[in-house]
Amino acid sequence: MEAIARKPSYSLSTSVPLENPPRIIPYSSSQTSTQQPQHQFPTYLENPDVSPMARILCEILTKNPPQGLENALSSTLIKPTPEIVEEVLNLSFRSPAAAVVFFRWAGMIQKHSASCWNLMVDLLGKNGLFESMWDVIRSMKQEGVLSMAAFVSAFRGYCSLDKFNEAVMAFDLMERYGIQADVVAVNSLLSAICRKDNETTKALEFFERIKTRIPPDADSYSILLEGWEKEGNVAKAKKTFGEMVIRVGWSPQNEAAYNAFLTTLVRGSQVDEAIKFLEIMKGKNCSPGLKFFSDALDTLIELNDTAHVVVLWDMMASSRLLPNLRMFNSIIALLCDNNDIDGAFSFLDKMVFYGVFPDSLTYNTIFQCLIKNKRVREAGGFFFEMVKNEWPPTHSNCAAAIKMFFDGYDPQMAGEIWTYMFRNHVLPLEESSNAFLIGLCDMGRLTELRRLAEKMLDRNIGIKESTMAKLKHAFNKDGRSTTRDAYDSLIRKWKSS
C-alpha cells in the first residue's frame, strides 16, 4: 500500500492535456479485478426514474466499445453537469471501463464536483480496481477536493471484497494525504468491516490497536456490539459493553448500543441477564429503544416463553415506550396459543391506553381461542362485539364457531353467525353452510334443515357428499313417508345442481 502511495502522481484534473491522459486503466496487466457479482449493481434499465439525458449517455456507455466512447459522447452535445455525471456514474458500476472514459470526457468539459470524484472512488473500489482507485485519490488531492468521504469509500471497497488488511492500511495512509484520522474515520472502517458476516473479530483487532491513539466514542462500541449481535457472540458482547460503560459512561443517547447488547443476551438465552441489565439501565436513566423490545418479544414468542414476555412487556411500559399493533397482536397470539384467554383479554383492553386499536387479526385470534376452548357464552358476546366494530370473523372461524355452538346447545347463536355470513357475503360460504346443516341434522330439526338446504342449493352454495349422506341417514331414521319424500326431492335437486 505504501508503495502505491510513493508512485508518481497521475492527475485527473481538467488541466491535463488530452494527449497526456491520466493513468486510469481499469483492466490492465498490472492489476487484478476482484469484482463483486455484477447483478448487485443497478443499471439505467432497472431504474424508471432516469432523466432523459442520463439515459442517452448510459445507453452510449453500454453499447459502444471503449475506444469509440469519447466521440459518441461528444456527438450528443449534452453538457455533463455535475448532476448528470453523478446520475450516470451511479448507474455505471457494472461498466467500470466505460465509466472511466465518461468521467475523463466529462471532466474535460466541466469541473467535477467533489461528490462525483467520490463516486469514482466508490465505483473503482467496489469493482476491485484499487490501483485506479488510488490514482483517483491522488488526483483528488491535487484538485483540492479530497476528503474523508473518499477514504470511507475506499474502506468499503476493500471490505466488500474481504480485503480487510488493505482497508486498515488505507486508514494508516490517510494523514499522508492530508486527511486527519479521527474517531469518525475509525468508526467508518469499523462499520465497513462489520458489514461482512462473521468478521467482527477483525474489527476488534483494529479497534484494540487504534483506541490508545484515537479515543473511541459510543458509536465505536455500538458498531462492535451490533457486530457481536449479528454473530450471536454473548461473551464478546459482554466484554465490549463492560468496556464501553467504563470508557464512555452511561447516556440515554447510547440507545443503539443498548439495543444491540440486550438483543444479543436475549437471543443467547440469557434473558434473566438482560432483565438485570435493564434494571441497571433504568437506575441510570437509560433505556433501549422500542426496537429491542420488539425484537426480544419476537424471540421469546418463538420460544413460547410467556413468563419472560410479560416481564419484558411491563418493563417496556415502565419506560414509557409505546408498543405498536404488531407487538400487541404477537403477544395476544402467544397467550391464545397457551389458552390464556384472560391474559389475551387483558392485553386487548390495554390497547386503547396506548392509542392502538385492534384489527381483524386481533379479534380473530381471540375468537379462535374462545372456540378452541369451547367458551360458548363468551364467544357469542365476542362475535357481536366483532361485528359491531366492523371486524367480522373469518369464514373458517365462522365454520368452527357454528360447530361449537351446536355442540354447546346454542343453535340460535349458530344461526346468527350463518345468517350474518349469508347477508354480508362473508365468502366462501360452503364450509359454514355444511357445518350448519350437520348441526341441524344432529338435532333432528328436519323441517328447518330441508328448507335451509333448498335455499343453499338455489343460491349455488355447495353441499358436500358427506353432508348429504348424513342428511339421508337422518331423514330415513325419521321413518315417515313424507320425510323420505322430502329427502328424495332434495337429493334430486342436489344431483341436478
C-alpha grid cell, residue 393: 370473523
**What pLDDT score was predicted for residue 398?**
94
For helices 148-160 and 114-126, the axis angle rounded to 10 degrees is: 10
CA distance 471 to 494: 12
pLDDT recorded at residue 451: 86
The sign one gets for the Cα dihedral 12, 16, 17, 20 is: negative
Amino acid identity for residue 475 in this structure? F
97-147 pLDDT per residue, tens: 999 999 999 999 999 999 999 999 999 999 999 999 999 999 999 999 999
Provide the pLDDT confidence category of residue 29 given band limits of 50, 70 and 90.
very low
pLDDT digits (tens, 9 = 90+) for 182-221: 999 999 999 999 999 999 999 999 999 999 999 999 999 9
pLDDT in tens, 312-352: 999 998 888 899 999 999 999 999 999 999 999 999 999 99
Least confidently predicted of 11-20, 49-58, 72-81, 428-437: 11-20
Residue linked to cell 443476551: 265
Give the residue, 448 or 328, on which the prediction is more confident.
328
What was the pLDDT predicted at 206? 97
Q: What is the pLDDT of residues 247-294, one digit of tens each?
A: 999 999 999 999 999 999 999 999 999 999 999 999 999 999 999 999
What is the per-residue pLDDT for 479?
66
User: What is the pLDDT of the chain when averaged over all its residues?
Assistant: 88
Q: Cell triple for residue 157?
A: 471497497
Residue 45: pLDDT above 90?
A: no
- pLDDT surpassing 90 at residue 442: no
Instruction: Work out the percent of the chain whose per-residue pLDDT is above 70.
Output: 91
Amino acid making up residue 155: F
Give the pLDDT confidence score for residue 188 in this predicted structure.
97
| 50: pLDDT strictly greater than 50 | yes
Please determine, for residue 88, whether its predicted confidence score (pLDDT) is greater than 80: yes
Rounded CA gap, 412 and 401, in Å? 12
Q: Which DSSP symbol is given to 30?
A: T
CA atoms within 13 A on the CB side of 11: 13
Residue 8: is its pLDDT beyond 50?
no
| pLDDT value of residue 368 | 97
Please report which residue ranges of 15-68 form alpha helices under DSSP H: 52-63
> SS3 breakdown of the chain: % helix, strand, coil, rounded to 5?
70, 0, 30
Q: Picking from 4-8, 52-56, 198-202, 466-470, which range would have the lowest pLDDT averaged per residue?
A: 4-8
